[in-house]
């Protein structure tokens, strides 16, 4: 099987030749940038550099998919947020959203008619077109979008949003609506450009940030609506320990749930049933970034034993993560 056949076999509940290994989140590292001669910040802003860096996940590391983009700012910038550089001292890092946010809680946000031509979105779509020409149907292309609540956090500022989820959750509804529209529009444009899978990252929906009841009563319906509007398999990733909401995450009907190791995969299986596909792997900060390859392998084996069907970094990979640790994950996958 080639990489795409392998990944699609798992999604379609068929037996692959071996376990796939790829990331639902960014997997770019400085070592990969050196290997392909493409660097940040261009990889966040230029389609050619973005495609080169994404391709390294397959050609350099050996993952079974390539994935763009590598930050969480594309929709927010197109909706009016200010992007700040990810530069830390002499290193180029991951850009974020700067203050002030464009809206306050009592404002009425508007979805721009020219959304897909704003900010860096045209370069992201160009990167997917380049990747499609490079890998064809050999390797699946994963297009990443940001979930509704996390986009709402960019539009309002994280602190005002989180306070509102407790004190006046009904006021965040217009911002969830804009967040869902933005992610869905970007997802469908990426599918048209060549994306085979859409990965939805909704970090702010974590029970470590909002009450589980708020997820159930407000965010769940927007995620469900978004996944229903996407014509290719969707991955849903929410950071942290999602044990308290994993049953509701399953009700959004993604093809794959991406879990961090803090979550209980066996509990998730009980709550979501036998047909849900789970992807996950070792902690990206405490293990992949800081430990050695043998520790990574041991952690991966434990997660496979717990029921993970696609091996993956637990969340976005830190750019300084050692290459040997990423390749150790691929070695484990090849043995299953």
Q: Among 58-62, 86-90, 260-264, 328-332, whose mean pLDDT is lowest?
A: 86-90
Question: What are the pLDDT digits (tens) for 262-312?
Answer: 999 999 999 999 999 999 999 999 999 999 999 999 999 999 999 999 999
What's the per-residue H, E or C state across the chain?
A: CCHHHHHHHHHCCCCCCCCCECCCCCCCCHHHHHHHCCCCCHHHHCHHHHHHHHHHHHHHHCCCCEEECCCCCHHHHHCCCEEECCCECCECCCCEEECCCCCCCCCCCCCCCCHHHCCCHHHHHHHHHHHHHHHCCCCCEEEEEECHHHHHHHHHCHHHHHHHHHHCHHHHHHHHHHHHHHHHHHHHHHHHHCCCEEEEECHHHCCCCCCHHHHHHHHHHHHHHHHHCCCCCEEEECCCCCCCCHHHHHHCCCCEEEECCCCCHHHHHHHHCCCCEEEECCCHHHHHHCCCHHHHHHHHHHHHHHCCCEECCCCCCCCCCCHHHHHHHHHHHHCC
The count of structural domains within the chain is 1
pLDDT-based confidence at 144, cuts 50/70/90?
Answer: very high
**Average pLDDT of the residues in 10-31:** 97
- pLDDT band with cut points at 50, 70 and 90 for residue 89: confident
Asked whether residue 91 carries a pLDDT value surpassing 90, the answer given is no
What is the tens place of the pLDDT at every residue in 24-56?
A: 999 999 999 999 999 999 999 999 999 999 999
CATH code of the domain in which 15 resides = 3.20.20.210
pLDDT of 90 strictly over 90 = no
- What is the domain range of residue 170? 3-335
Question: Span 127-146, mean pLDDT?
Answer: 98
């Amino acid at each position: 099987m080639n990489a795409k056949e392998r990944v699609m076999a798992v999604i379609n509940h068929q037996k692959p030749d071996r376990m796939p290994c790829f990331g639902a989140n960014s997997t770019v590292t400085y070592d990969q940038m050196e290997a392909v001669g493409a660097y940040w910040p261009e990889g966040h802003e230029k389609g050619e550099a973005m495609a080169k860096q994404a391709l390294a996940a397959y050609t350099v590391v050996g993952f079974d998919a390539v994935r763009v983009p590598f930050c969480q700012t594309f929709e927010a910038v197109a909706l009016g947020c200010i992007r700040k550089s990810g530069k830390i001292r002499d290193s180029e890092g991951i850009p974020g959203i700067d203050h002030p946010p464009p809206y306050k809680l009592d404002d009425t946000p508007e979805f721009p008619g020219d959304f897909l031509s704003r900010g860096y979105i045209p370069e992201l779509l160009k990167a997917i077109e380049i990747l499609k020409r490079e890998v064809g149907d050999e390797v699946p292309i994963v297009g990443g979008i940001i979930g509704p609540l996390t986009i709402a956090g960019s539009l309002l500022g994280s602190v005002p949003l989180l306070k509102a989820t407790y004190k006046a959750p009904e006021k965040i509804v217009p911002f969830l609506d804009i967040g869902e529209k933005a992610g869905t529009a970007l997802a469908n444009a990426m599918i048209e450009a060549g994306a085979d899978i859409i990965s939805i990252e909704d970090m702010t929906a974590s029970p470590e940030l909002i009450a589980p009841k708020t997820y159930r009563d407000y965010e769940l319906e927007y995620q469900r609506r978004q996944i229903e509007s996407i014509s290719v398999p969707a991955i849903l990733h929410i950071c942290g320990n999602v044990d308290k909401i994993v049953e509701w995450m399953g009700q959004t009907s993604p093809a794959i749930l991406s879990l961090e190791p803090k979550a209980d995969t066996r509990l998730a299986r009980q709550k979501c049933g036998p047909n849900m596909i789970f992807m996950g792997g070792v902690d990206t900060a405490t293990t992949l970034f800081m430990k050695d390859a043998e520790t990574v392998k041991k952690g991966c084996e434990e997660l496979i034993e717990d029921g993970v069907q696609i091996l993956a970094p637990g969340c976005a990979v830190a750019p300084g993560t050692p290459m040997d640790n990423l390749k150790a994950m691929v070695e484990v996958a090849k043995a299953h």
